[in-house]
Chain A
């Protein structure tokens, strides 16, 4: 059969899996960069990143030039563990899209091509990551730990292959297992994988041949895994889930307030309050609304995470500061905390389902005040107990009463600050 020439400039051979993969990959990274650019403006670069890089770079240079004694005492295994941990972070990516189910995934050539492109991408990212870490650590590795240059190169290749095998193995497990099963299996395999990585790398320091042999062995496993992956069918939904998770992990926190479609929970039932039991007694409608809010925060890690970070940072600040400064920090932090809770509360109220209903002003007012005060009180109490312990340690006997007095005073301080903040907000809204 004679093929007619294409006269419209459309050459079918130009369209193949690899160019498509490259196009999708670049589009993905451009999209990620554009998201990050919205928060990384010139002020952040000028005042945070560049000074930070200069300071940390200077400290690192001093560390390498004049290594303190403790640096020589750090076990090599610890350094290699960090390298190994980073190799356990990768996920096998194909940049699949939901529309692929209509055409591409029905065509074996395209499917194989995109899968193979994913292997190449995965291996290149592993090599890139290993090289980057080795390059950053090389002054330490070569000068302080006195590794040979050839060992560092072999270590980079070994790490990349190891990370690549882990990536494929993890992908296979994620296809086969779900929920708790997956979590437990991954929790069990990770330490084994990491220990083997570190053990072989430590031996490889003196016997490079071991590291080369281990690399060849892992490469064989990688080929076996790749063959299995190429033969596996029905992976599209899994690939899309991986892509969605990667996107959310990269920019989820930046876009959390603007994302129309939130990730669907992985479990059918919640882990907390499995029987939908109330957290608070439903005395009135404000309590019902408040109960829904508290349960949402406890079930949504993206809402809980910033509060936990603030709790940790606040606790560290109070532990490390002298007592008078710790008291000042304890008085100031609730303002920041209330502001954070206020933003979360307003964002929650604007969720489409919550905004579907008409909420009377008095209910909103009562629920809002309780949401902030009850939400902030556990953290303020924790910080108060830290300040109380410090007071007790310094002043002894009566000073230990501060452990009780400061958290109680914290409640009244919170109410006062909340009233001030609320009044200011109301005034600002009025002006607007």
Chain B
């Protein structure tokens, strides 16, 4: 799928970490094509969140390059939320003294969304994630699941070229997961790409076109499910879970 599409986003991470001289992630290259969904998978502590933070410029130590449509970014380390990119974090990031609607107004300002279009998009998303009744309340007082929905709405409101989604399924009820998947499908038809990290391998297998398996701060395998199966030495019916287990088990034996 999308084999003919241009590469929308490419990150070449030489090293990234929290302390100088102690990289957590080394030599990782990620690329996402327009309309493609790439799953960044790995066990706890493999370096997935570090990669995400590195892409967002939130790490104190980062060496690498970022390319958009094949052109290198000038500031190198880190991309921020804009009309081009939306980040949906695992831990909701909210402002204490703004209502849900005011959070969305700020997104509209950051993405330069015209007022009418913003209202239309915002109301639609609030209905979709069933938050229209609480739009004038403080989201910091919401439950974790509701806060996660707020972050999804913020991301979808921007209608960016690329979504960076960190553990999207945590805290969401089944209805919200279905709405999330439907919204991601709509975005794919628009040509938007998704780079997501998750532990939920079954969902990742259904959702993603390609996978990057991260283990011990490096890439253990990458490619389509068929390519991952080959790399793991698994049969054609093997689930992503089995391949993942085999690849990380192999790495552990090696180490």
Contact surface of A with B, Cβ cutoff 8 Å: 262-265, 267-270, 273-276, 278, 282, 285-286, 288-289, 291-292, 295-296, 299-300, 351-354, 356-359, 363
Task: Say if the beta carbon of B94 comes within 8 Å of chain A.
Answer: yes
Task: Say if the beta carbon of B72 comes within 8 Å of chain A.
Answer: no
Contacts of B27 in A (CB 8 A): none
The contact sample of 7 A-B pairs, CB cut-off 8 A, is A269-B137, A274-B136, A276-B99, A295-B102, A357-B110, A358-B81, A358-B82
Interface membership of chain B positions 81-97, coded 1 if the CB is closer than 8 angstroms to chain A and 0 otherwise: 11000010000011111
Contacts of A359 in B (CB 8 A): 110
Interface residues of B in 84-141 (CB under 8 A from A): 87, 93-103, 105-110, 112, 115, 135-138, 140-141
Contact between B102 and A300, CB atoms less than 8 A apart: no
Contact between A357 and B81, CB atoms less than 8 A apart: yes
CA distance A270 to B138 in the complex (A): 7
Contact between B102 and A292, CB atoms less than 8 A apart: yes
| CB contact between A264 and one of B80, B98, B140 (< 8 Å): that residue | B140
Contact between A353 and B80, CB atoms less than 8 A apart: no
Contacts of A363 in B (CB 8 A): 109
Nearest CB of chain A from residue B109's CB, rounded to whole Å:
4
CA distance A282 to B117 in the complex (A): 14
Given contacts A270-B97, A296-B97, A265 and B141 within 8 Å (CB-CB): yes
CA distance A275 to B102 in the complex (A): 10
Interface residues of B in 51-65 (CB under 8 A from A): none
Contact between A262 and B96, CB atoms less than 8 A apart: yes
CA distance A357 to B87 in the complex (A): 10
Nearest CB of chain B from residue A421's CB, rounded to whole Å:
25
Contacts of B97 in A (CB 8 A): 265, 270, 295-296, 299-300
Contacts of A299 in B (CB 8 A): 97
Bin chain B's interface residue count: 20 to 34
- The 9 tightest CB contacts between A and B, nearest first, are A357-B110, A288-B109, A358-B80, A276-B101, A353-B95, A358-B82, A285-B109, A299-B97, A276-B99
CA distance A35 to B236 in the complex (A): 62
Interface membership of chain B positions 206-239, coded 1 if the CB is closer than 8 angstroms to chain A and 0 otherwise: 0000000000000000000000000000000000
Closest to B106 in A: A292
CA distance A157 to B82 in the complex (A): 64
Contact between A268 and B138, CB atoms less than 8 A apart: yes
Nearest CB of chain A from residue B59's CB, rounded to whole Å:
15
Contact between B106 and A352, CB atoms less than 8 A apart: no
Contact between B141 and A292, CB atoms less than 8 A apart: no
Nearest CB of chain A from residue B197's CB, rounded to whole Å:
18
CA distance A270 to B100 in the complex (A): 11
Contact between B138 and A354, CB atoms less than 8 A apart: no
Contacts of A264 in B (CB 8 A): 96, 138, 140-141
Nearest CB of chain A from residue B160's CB, rounded to whole Å:
11
Contact between A357 and B107, CB atoms less than 8 A apart: yes
Closest to A353 in B: B95
CA distance A363 to B95 in the complex (A): 20
CA distance A288 to B110 in the complex (A): 9
CA distance A104 to B1 in the complex (A): 57
CA distance A299 to B81 in the complex (A): 26
Nearest CB of chain A from residue B180's CB, rounded to whole Å:
19
CA distance A269 to B110 in the complex (A): 24
Nearest CB of chain B from residue A141's CB, rounded to whole Å:
46
Contacts of A358 in B (CB 8 A): 80-82, 110
Q: By CB atoms of chain A within 10 A, which of B82, B97, B102, B138 has the most?
A: B97
Contact between B109 and A354, CB atoms less than 8 A apart: no
Given contacts A268-B137, A276-B136, A354 and B82 within 8 Å (CB-CB): no
Nearest CB of chain A from residue B110's CB, rounded to whole Å:
4
Contact between B112 and A265, CB atoms less than 8 A apart: no
| CB contact between A265 and one of B80, B81, B109, B138 (< 8 Å): that residue | B138
Contact between B105 and A288, CB atoms less than 8 A apart: yes
Contact between B96 and A265, CB atoms less than 8 A apart: yes
Interface membership of chain B positions 20-40, coded 1 if the CB is closer than 8 angstroms to chain A and 0 otherwise: 000000000000000000000
Contact between A353 and B103, CB atoms less than 8 A apart: yes
Contact between B109 and A289, CB atoms less than 8 A apart: yes
Given pairs A269-B99, A276-B105, A282-B115, 9 additional interface contacts (CB within 8 A): A265-B138, A278-B105, A285-B109, A285-B110, A288-B105, A289-B106, A300-B97, A353-B106, A356-B93
Q: By CB atoms of chain A within 10 A, which of B102, B103, B109, B110 has the most?
A: B109
Nearest CB of chain B from residue A261's CB, rounded to whole Å:
9
CA distance A291 to B96 in the complex (A): 16
Interface membership of chain B positions 59-82, coded 1 if the CB is closer than 8 angstroms to chain A and 0 otherwise: 000000000000000000000111
Contact between A357 and B106, CB atoms less than 8 A apart: yes
Contacts of B136 in A (CB 8 A): 269, 274-276
Interface membership of chain B positions 192-215, coded 1 if the CB is closer than 8 angstroms to chain A and 0 otherwise: 000000000000000000000000
Contact between B135 and A356, CB atoms less than 8 A apart: no
Nearest CB of chain B from residue A178's CB, rounded to whole Å:
13
Nearest CB of chain A from residue B129's CB, rounded to whole Å:
17
